[in-house]
């Protein structure tokens, strides 16, 4: 079946550091890929998405590129801020199915 | 105006009780979901409804029963609550295919004591 694997956290960075959170997936068809963010005590918010191979999703300085050859969708940001501290979830979805999430990666950014 | 709203936000109850969580979306979406987030933050799909019809029913104890009176509402009723049911439950909705994103509610933190 379909699945998503994310790097284990927590990830601890200083402000303005470069961020990478790795995500790989297994899918039987042609999924869309997503990154969601969950701030403490809140629900999940869509951060970015990509619907086909080689698409790049971007939002708020975060980027991720849909790489079909490596079945990956790594999240990157050039310079993190304290306000980026949250839990980040990689997810995939195929037509007619629900979102399948990775286990989440906790990011902690200190000033 | 909240897009996907759940009530209550917090629910503390004793083992053996029956409780319900309500969810409403004002986005005009045709598909709604219930997810369970455990203490390690892992999110797992429980149910999905499309236009009031059940389309996904994962391996969930039959003590959990979703009900969709119309496509804007998806409620979750839980019978005979157990300690292991303690979690955060998220409602979500999405529209159209293929592969559109889901919008999530704020979650209901259920604690069974």
pLDDT digits (tens, 9 = 90+) for A41-58: 899 999 999 999 999 999
Does A77 contact B at CB distance below 8 Å?
Answer: no
CA distance B28 to B15: 36
What's the pLDDT score for residue A49? Answer: 96
Q: Which residue of B has its CA nearest to A47?
A: B101
Least confident of A7-11, A48-52, B36-40, B74-78: A7-11
* A77, β-bridge pairs: A19, A62
CB contact under 8 A, A43 and B45: no
CB contact under 8 A, B42 and A89: no
Structure letter (DSSP) for residue A72: B
CB contact under 8 A, A103 and B102: no
CA distance A39 to B8: 19
CB contact under 8 A, A98 and B41: no
Does A7 contact B at CB distance below 8 Å?
Answer: no
Q: Which long-range contacts (CB under 8 A, 24 or more apart) does B63-70 make?
A: B66/B34, B68/B32
Distance of CA A61 to the CA centre of its chain: 13
Residues B101-113 pLDDT 10s: 999 999 999 999 9
Q: Which residues of B touch A (CB under 8 A)?
A: 4, 33, 40-45, 48, 55-56, 90, 92, 97-107
Structure letter (DSSP) for residue A67: B
Alpha helical stretches, state H, A12-107 = none
Residues B16-73 pLDDT 10s: 999 999 999 999 999 999 999 999 999 999 999 988 888 888 888 999 999 999 989 9
């Amino acid at each position: 079946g379909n699945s998503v694997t994310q790097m284990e956290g927590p990830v601890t960075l200083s402000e303005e550091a470069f961020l990478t959170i790795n995500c790989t997936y297994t899918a039987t068809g042609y999924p869309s890929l997503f990154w969601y963010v969950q701030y403490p005590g809140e629900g999940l918010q869509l951060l970015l998405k990509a619907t086909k191979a080689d698409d790049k999703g971007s939002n708020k300085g975060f980027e991720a590129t849909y790489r079909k050859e490596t079945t990956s969708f790594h999240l990157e940001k050039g310079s993190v801020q304290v306000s980026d501290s949250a839990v980040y979830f990689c997810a995939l979805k195929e037509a007619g199915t629900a979102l399948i999430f990775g286990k989440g990666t906790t990011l902690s950014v200190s000033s | 105006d909240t897009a996907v709203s759940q009530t209550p936000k917090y629910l503390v109850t004793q083992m053996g009780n029956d409780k319900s969580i309500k969810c409403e979306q004002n986005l005009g979406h045709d598909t709604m979901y219930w997810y369970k987030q455990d203490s390690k933050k892992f999110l797992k799909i429980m149910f999905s409804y499309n236009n009031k019809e059940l389309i996904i029913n994962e391996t969930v104890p039959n003590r959990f029963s979703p009900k969709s009176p119309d496509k804007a509402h998806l409620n979750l009723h839980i019978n005979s609550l157990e300690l292991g049911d303690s979690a955060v439950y998220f409602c979500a909705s999405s529209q159209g295919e293929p592969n559109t994103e889901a919008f999530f509610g704020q979650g209901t933190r259920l604690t069974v004591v």
